[in-house]
Amino acid sequence: MSYRIGNGIDFHQLREGREFWLGGIRIPGSKGALGHSDADVLIHAICDALLGALNLGDIGMHFPDTDPAYKDIDSKKLLQQVFSLVKKKRYHVVNLDSTICLQAPRIEAHTGDMRRIIADLLETAVDNISIKATTTEHMGFVGRGEGIAAYATVLLEQIPH
């Protein structure tokens, strides 16, 4: 049995008037993340964790922000493409642990929906998906409401022949 661990991290600026997509769902609010795609930092961090676990590069290599094909794309589509690479290498997700750093809005009411969406995309049980949230106690760019960060760690197991 072969196991692989990967970690991912992503940051985006927050801007007034943008839709706020996080963990595959739209969160109501006045600010949203700025990016070439829908700027879903959690899904981007998960993509990087999966890619890193299997030494497949990073999200920018697979989906460059210079490619118009990815302009405003739903990040769930990116995760589906990344997970197809994981399956091609004959791995499955054992578990995923993630943390979102965001001062506001509070998102704990939405993490259950996020977990269900991500579990479905990764073809695993909801119990294998952990999503935590924290503030930075008003310190730094997150604390000032200027941006958001997400971290993800994934454990993959190779599927026996």
pLDDT, tens digit only, all 161 positions of the chain = 799 999 999 999 999 999 999 999 999 988 999 999 999 999 999 999 999 999 999 999 999 989 999 998 999 999 999 999 999 999 999 999 999 999 999 999 999 999 999 999 999 999 999 999 999 999 999 999 999 999 999 999 999 88
Residue 118 sits at φ, ψ, to 5 deg, of -70, -40
Alpha carbon of 156 to those of 49, 76, 123, 131, 153: distances in Å?
Answer: 10, 19, 12, 17, 10
The residues, ordered by sequence, that sit 6+ positions from 76 with a Cβ below 8 Å of its Cβ are: 24, 40, 43, 117, 121
Q: Contact at 8 Å (CB) between 96 and 132?
A: no
What are the sequence ranges of the domains in the chain? Answer: 3-158
What is residue 1's predicted lDDT score, i.e. its pLDDT? 79
Give the CATH fold of the 3-158 domain: 60s Ribosomal Protein L30; Chain: A; (3.30.1330)
Contacts of 148 (CB under 8 A, 6+ apart): 11, 12, 14, 22, 33, 41, 100, 101, 102, 142
pLDDT tens-digit series, residues 55-96 = 999 999 999 989 999 998 999 999 999 999 999 999 999 999
- Residue 115: exposure state from Cβ atoms within 10 A (0-12, 13-18, ≥19): buried
This prediction's pTM? 0.96
Give the full edge-to-edge strand order of the sheet including 129-134. Answer: 31-33, 3-16, 147-158, 91-101, 129-134
52 neighbors 84 (Cβ within 8 angstroms): no
The answer to whether 80 and 74 have CB atoms below 8 angstroms apart is no
Helices (H), the chain: 41-53, 59-62, 75-88, 111-121, 140-143
